[in-house]
Structure 1
């Protein structure tokens, strides 16, 4: 796919640059505490979150398909990345991130951006809420200042650790966390233009440093000092064995990264009134996630909250995203040593608020209240995300959604026996015309309505064959309301045709639509049926079928199913 920058910067001038500068500065300040918090929660050093914000922020803005997208580490990735780090280690996380970038790149090149949109909403709400619960509960230990906890991949095991070590609660950590939390909520009301998370982080850090130094765990005491420069380019060692073992984590990262970035782009379109290019967005995400690991960065995607902040602060072009990354880079250069003094208890409320905001609690409650099959899919996906992992949750959610879809669609297929209605001026066929005294023994007409696919094909065949066990001479299938036929549906239709031909009967198709007709052509079933037995109008099909009748059997017949029957029954 050719990537062009024309249009995105058309008419760009100094005034627009000023707006991008202001927006980028604000978003950059917002991104700093989030980048470090997301990295820590993912089980890696905080500086890796800053590296990701810088590298991915620039590349996603330049190469992505959304004009205002802000890329970087996000909360949605936390449980996945933490599980990968726990199971495979940090170096292998970089490899998985690189592989995910390659997958996203090819998804964009092969224009698969729209495919991701087909994931059912209950599944996305379910796993998003599950991720939010995992993030929130994962910060309880830092909020309370608990010590000597062992980290586990399993949710229940982590909850058990908190219960066992609850006696090690540190009141200094609780006070620090509460100060940060209160300021996160108060600042937007008093100072709307200043990020609450940054104010809470700074005030709580200064408070802890002045009034009770060395009484709470800090970034420096836990992870070491944050270097004030970007790391040298380092390509993680790739091997066939590594790539084989990491393909599943890479697919999960790519899938979630694609979903989150496109969802963020849709939100941006809704706020700014723009239209994003979904395939280009995947290409941009792919490029960013391929370059990111070279600088030690963790997987990145589009950040909904930061993107919305970018637009609301007057961004005019992708330059605002580049400027936001440069702001983070400058802060890293000049203020990195001070960041080592940030208490972990100050980071916990920031992540808890992020989890609360991303939980989609209103949508979750709304779907549950419907008490439909989709509610069950939502709840199971949520439960599996919390108790097992995202891969299992999404797989089960998609399978359940597929089963429910097939069940619903099977109810929409209607197969009914019909006959012409003389009271209608066009003599359209109607179901109410068929009864015991008005039913042609030699011609059966069935109207088929709905998609003829694998979920209903067998039922369709059984319905036809069971109801015509008296072996009529001609079977007319009116397929004007069949929009789609898959290979299974074609196979069952073929079975009906073969059954009739075997008993000397004829199958006639009328009003068939373009896709089903094309399917019959590809499988050569139209040739087996006979081109002369396929009609555009059902009236012509009926007229033709009357020429196929056994005239002797018509003599004396009193059913009079067709207007010609009077003459056929009593030719004299």
Structure 2
């Protein structure tokens, strides 16, 4: 106990600084994503307070930041679009409660492995489609032209092009100025962490001083000075929200698994995703009492938390507390923020979310079935309510699995028997210290079998000086999931003082490893490409 207390004291300054950084950056994000969701920005701020602080205590990951995320916000909008405006708040809080109940249920039945049945190609198509919806949805606030609520967003954008004469040039100028300032501040090292907040403040001051006529946050909602008292959601609204709430729960959990897998714990291990499920579920159940929008793990916010120097989960606790204090002390000042400024910020975030050329190229080049699943999922996000697109993605993923996966897959150990021949054995649970272990994959490598393959990899714990030779002959169309799995295993092997060597790597697979950024992580591992004459 004294050692734990000492570590807590040692990490306190770093966690406090990281918490303050993510709080200040998260305020405009939380308000903006609430606007994307079509709700009062204060509900996003409440989520950045309560969900972030409570989630910090309950999730398995030390760094996972729980808040209203961008893709979740677009999905919430599609759920609430048909709801009368007066009923939106009550519907939102019930939605948060139901999402939490489903997430908790997934965690209790340990359904973390089921997320492996949503392919990376489907998820990529969904994220790109959702990001485009963010951009299209904010064109009205950016230009001052009121777009039609609901319907297919691309048609609303076409309507804007037909009414360019009705665009408010002052609103457009404020939005573009905000976007330009964000990009400029990111190039200044000392201003990088405040690159989202400072442009909003500057735009607000300019609009206020010059008396520019643009829409403000106060025109759509009031931001009270204070935190809400607990209120039980109206459960009579629950039956009509069960299907969309399940979709939001699945979406939030899949996104959180991606965050957890990309953010190892301080000791290099991956946190228990089922504990993340349970933690997010309980968090949403509790925060539904405090007027919060549904929350999930956010990749960008978690990455910022780590880069800001967070050492323990206390950083997210501090972040939530700081946002809460700012609401108490200066909540009504948020009403002065120009909507075009927030729109410019959100459009930039959406554009950056869409910009993933290497991932799209890898899916297109290395997975024939994946490329069409990605396209189909993207198109579904544009013509259907977003919460139903995730169901389409799940069904597409399962269909691909049933068509292409004929048997399971696992890692086997290759034992030399002489004359260049090897015998397959069950892979050991742990790598033998100071010895060479040759591994290969038995069965089909497919996104739904990757978790089974990864579970059968020998643990490098306590095996200092071990060498792992991983033979990848025949793995040509493995997809980006295999690249990420190899990257994670390389991190674990290196962390325990051992070495990973990839052998018999097809040139196409080698190119995929390089394009996805896995090669630098694997480091000095030896890649032996299969020569054409050997095939």
TM-score (ref. length: structure 1): 0.67
Q: Do structure 1's residue 236 and structure 2's residue 217 form an aligned pair?
A: no
What is the rounded CA distance, in whole Å, between the counterparts of 2:9 and 2:133 in structure 1?
A: 45
Is 1:395 the counterpart of 2:400? The answer is no
* 8 A contact 2:63–2:263 mirrored in 1: yes
Per-residue CA deviation, residues 130-174 of structure 1 (Å, 9 max, x unaligned), is 101100111111111214x33114324433442454322111111
Between the aligned partners of 1:274 and 1:199, the Cα distance in structure 2 is 36
Q: Which residue of 1 aligns with 2:368?
A: 372
Q: Deviations over 1:101-124 (max 9, x none)?
A: 011112111111221133111111
Q: CA deviation at 1:10?
A: 6.6
Higher relative contact order (CA 8 A, sep 6+): 2
**Over residues 316-344 of structure 1, what are the superposed CA-to-partner deviations in whole Å (9 max), with x where a residue is unaligned?**
11110010011111111122222111000
Note if contact 1:97-1:253 (Cα within 8 Å) is conserved in structure 2. no
- 1:128 is matched with which residue? 127
Q: How far did residue 361 of structure 1 move?
A: 2.3
CA contact (8 A) 1:108 1:280 kept: yes
How large is the RMSD of aligned CA atoms in angstroms?
A: 2.5
- Shift of the alpha carbon at 1:178? 1.5
List runs of 5+ in structure 2 lacking aligned partners: 409-441, 445-535
* 1:40-91 Cα distance to aligned partner (Å, 9 max, x none): 1111111111001101001110000100111111101122111222224331
**Where does residue 202 of structure 1 map in the other structure?**
201
1:182 paired residue number: 180
In the alignment, the residues of structure 1 paired with residue 96 and residue 151 of structure 2 have an alpha-carbon distance, to the nearest angstrom, of 19
Segments of 5+ residues of structure 1 without an aligned counterpart are 1-5, 413-448, 452-572
Aligned twin of 2:334: 339
2:139 and 2:38 mapped to 1: Cα distance?
Answer: 15
Structure label with greater radius of gyration: 1
Is the counterpart of residue 312 in structure 1 residue 307 in structure 2? yes
Match for residue 77 of structure 2 among 77, 82, 104: 82
Kept in 1, the 8 Å contact 2:244–2:388? The answer is: no
Superposition deviation, residue 8 in structure 1: 12
Contact 2:38 2:80 (8 Å CA) reproduced = yes
1:285, CA displacement in angstroms? 0.3
| Residue matched to 1:52 | 47
In 2: Cα distance, 1:70 partner to 1:115 partner: 22
SS at match of 2:64: coil
Change beyond 3 A, Cα 1:8–1:55: farther
Q: 1:556 maps to which residue?
A: none
Report the Cα offset of residue 37 of structure 1.
0.5
| Aligned residue number for residue 109 of structure 1 | 108
**2:226 paired with 1:226:** no
Q: What is the match of residue 171 of structure 2?
A: 173
Q: State the secondary structure of the residue aligned to 1:59.
A: helix
The equivalent of 2:433 in structure 1 is none
Distance change in 2, residues 1:144/1:272 (3 Å): farther
Structure-to-structure mapping, 1:233-312, within 5 angstroms: 233-239=230-236, 242-269=237-264, 273-312=268-307
Q: In 1, Cα distance between the equivalents of 2:100 and 2:128?
A: 25
Q: Take 1:173 and 1:286, find their aligned partners in 2: how far apart are those partners?
A: 39
User: For the residues of structure 2 that align with 1:377 and 1:10, how far apart are their CA atoms?
Assistant: 50
**2:504 alignment partner in structure 1:** none
Rounded to whole Å, the distance in 2 between the matches of 1:8 and 1:150 is 59
Report how far residue 352 of structure 1 moved: 1.4
| Other-structure match for 2:352 | 357
Once the two structures are TM-superposed, the CA of residue 367 in structure 1 deviates from its matched residue by: 1.8
Give the 3 Å change call, closer, same or farther, for CA 301–382 of structure 1 in structure 2.
same
| 8 Å CA contact 1:267, 1:308 repeated in 2 | no
1:269 Cα deviation (Å)?
A: 1.4
Which stretches of structure 1, 4 residues or longer, exceed 6 Å deviation after superposition? none
Tell me which of 19, 44, 49 is aligned to 1:24.
19
SS of equivalent residue, structure 1 residue 257: helix
- Identify which range, 270-279 or 293-302, moves more after superposition: 270-279
Rounded to whole Å, the distance in 1 between the matches of 2:363 and 2:300 is 23
d(CA) in 2 for partners of 1:22, 1:271: 18
Whole-angstrom distance in 2 between the partners of 1:8 and 1:38? 40
SS at match of 1:44: coil
TM-superposed deviation, 1:229: 0.5
Matches within 5 A, 1:506-521: none
Tell me, in whole angstroms, the C-alpha distance in 2 between the residues paired with 1:381 and 1:32: 31
Check whether the contact 2:123–2:393 (CA below 8 A) recurs between aligned residues.
Answer: no
C-alpha offsets along residues 283-334 of structure 1, whole Å, 9 cap, x if unaligned? 1100111112211110001111111111112111111001001111111112
Deviation at 1:400, TM superposition (A): 3.3
- Paired residues in the alignment total 406
1:13 aligns with 2:11: no
Q: Name the SS for the 1:113 alignment partner.
A: helix
SS at match of 1:12: helix
